[in-house]
Structure 1
Amino acid sequence: MNQDQLKRAVAEAAAAYIAPKLESDTIVGVGTGSTANLFIDCLAELKGKFDGTVASSEASAERLKAHGIPVYDLNAVDDVLVYVDGADETDAHLALIKGGGAALTREKIVAAVAQEFVCIADESKWVPVLGNFPLPVEVIPMARSHVARELVKLGGDPVYRQGVVTDNGNAILDVHNLQIRTPIALEEQINNIVGVVTNGLFAARNADVLLLGGANGVETIRAGEGRK
């Protein structure tokens, strides 16, 4: 299967995974990006079996609404049963790098609220050590240069993502040349830099389940268990 087919396979697997959990009052968290878009299309087939969704970006919200799926403000819901989203990288502990689509802050918020975080990815995203994919950092615009200097001190090579403004009105720095062997510690360290909104390490709140698409189909990998 090519990469598009793998993405479709994991999106379908995610819909099948959550289907038995859905009830009339269920709220589903939905991520952002090409794989999440395919999941939204699959979720449309389950419309009517759950209450609605919360979305991690304006783009995802529009796609959900186009399918006739209700989208709620996160402040208006009491509970999110499950959050389904893709990743740019994942390690064996299901710590992730996310934010290639510049939606990392809202993604991190929805993931924090959700009872269960299901990551969907193709096998190319599985890495022994995070950091080959540049780590996105969302920053308050006036702090961009200050944050960049601090990231250099951490051994990174930050690059301003030209022409990109997040849904929150902020800038993105993509940090190259990191080998992230202690992702929880680095996530906290970067978040403590004044001017950082958040960074794309999802390690303190990692995925609970990874649906990983490969040549032999879709593997279900749970945090703490590793690949069989």
Structure 2
Amino acid sequence: MAEAFDLSGRVALVTGGASGIGVGIAELLAEAGATVVIADIDATRAAAQADALKGAGHQAASVAVDLGDETSVIAACADVVERHGAPWILVNNAGLQHRELLLEGSVRHWDRNNAVNARGPFLMIRELAKAMVAAGQGGRVINVASSGLIGQMVQGLSAYLASKGALAALTQAAAMELAEHGITVNTVLPGGVGTPGAIGAEGPPPIGPGNRRPPLGMCEPRDIGSAVLYFATPMARHVTNQTICVDAGFSIT
């Protein structure tokens, strides 16, 4: 059974892997044997997280990337492929979650959310899937969206949820186009996780049904990482264009 979750010899890139949910994802992929590349806008924290994984006996590296900047994405992906070869696993986890009420929303806020949360993953897939296809060994793409798409909502998230909806739709389109190359594309919808990004999000108070405590309690980063790990492993080799919601039972309340 251990072989079904073995990622030895695989390279995995996790965006936003220097903090929050990304840390839990990176840890589990590393524990499964993958060489994990932490891709983050904060180069110092990305390097520190890679060092922490290496200190725990795993293989890891880091790369700086600004998902809102196409030039940065292209350069970061080229650097990773040059140093490590084509990643077999891409986890589009990084995202912004600051809030603005709909009737007070700004184009700047809307554009920034969509640039990082939707356009950034599109660019990452475009660049790294090219390398996956060239390598000819298939691959895995896992997009991290939000359980807000199915109801765990608070006020002020119109731009955020629109961008995450675009990301979920991108899963479907990418899964169709990449299937012939043996590359699967799936989505994870995290529920409430007490990350620094969530706690420190700017904007109006988070009022709405998303404040209800789920039956199983708040999720932790590794809970989200478990769903990502499943999609990344040989166990999911014939699973594509699918969604797992990790919301601790919120959807049944």
TM-score by length of 1: 0.39
Greater share of strand: 1
TM-score by length of 2: 0.36
Greater share of helix: 2
